[in-house]
Homo-oligomer: A and B are copies of this chain.
Amino acid sequence: MPIPLNAKKVFTGEIFDVYQWEQKMFDGSTETFEMLKRSNTVDIIAVQDGHIIVADQEQPDKPLFTSVLGGRQDHGESAEQTAKRELLEEGGLASDDWEPLCEVRPYGKMDWTVFVFIARDCKKVQEQNLDAGERITTRAVTFDEFLNLAISNNFAGREITEMVLRLKLESEKLETFRKKLMGI
């Protein structure tokens, strides 16, 4: 559910803002309800030369993990603009063949949408351009390697993990997904 229109912002954080509102309960009493808001993010399934580009990442407060490319939406950006910027910054890559795949809201009490994009036929156009809080090495993996990575413990991005688990249970949908990424 979205944050109700009558909710008030009671805290502004670095990542998370907190909203509260008075909610009428089933017995007519009232309680203070709470939800969070954070910037939306994008996930990019980037395809280059028949492989998928994944990111081995280190962040200052975390051990090494693997994910797809992506990041937070800046103020005023569309999700597609964010995806193009992050593909360039994190991967040094650009694509002219984008497709929005799905939108996921990972956590009920948080106004946060993850926009998942496919970027086919990626080309290297520049070097990476990382923030001080990022160490990212990109790596090209096969479609099957990608499926295994996405459901491994070390993979960050539960929305991608759940999507891949569901695809693995339905061979027809998995084949459609493979074609969507890799062509025939």
Contacts and interface: CB of A to CB of B under 8 A. Distances in A.
B34 A36 contact: no
Contacts of A109: 15-16
Interface of A: 1, 4, 10-11, 13-16, 18, 20, 23-27, 29, 31-34, 36, 60-63, 106-109, 132-135, 151, 156, 158, 161-162, 165-166, 168-169
A158 B162 contact: yes
Contacts of A16: 16, 18, 34, 36, 109
A33 to B, nearest CB: 6
B106 A24 contact: no
B166 A151 contact: yes
Nearest to A32: B14
A106 B109 CA distance: 13
A60 B132 contact: no
A133 B11 CA distance: 24
A150 to B, nearest CB: 12
Contacts of A156: 108
A31 B60 CA distance: 10
A108 to B, nearest CB: 7
Contacts of A158: 106, 158, 162
Contact of A33 (B29, B61, B107, B151): B61
Contacts of A26: 60, 132-135
Contacts of A27: 132
A112 to B, nearest CB: 10
Contacts of A108: 62, 156
